Structure 1
């Protein structure tokens, strides 16, 4: 997750999944865990979430 605030300060937090994530709810949960690790009171300009190491099922 990357958060960018007014004034273009940026903070990045990564979260490795302990197991395969198969649903949107899993991705949302992981993003919320990253968000909780950031403390801020500034106005947010941008929130970005990235997924990597994707594989096809089967």
Structure 2
């Protein structure tokens, strides 16, 4: 069930999902920039980090 919630967060709030999974670091900064400029790549990056 936890993975399901993380996948939903990745789709709707990608930076929050990356923060909860990895904390504040380079992955969070990359995802934040991707989400600000282009929402879909931010979601894909968050999904990739969470499922990996």
TM-score (norm 2): 0.34
Of structures 1 and 2, the larger Rg is shown by 1
TM-score (norm 1): 0.31
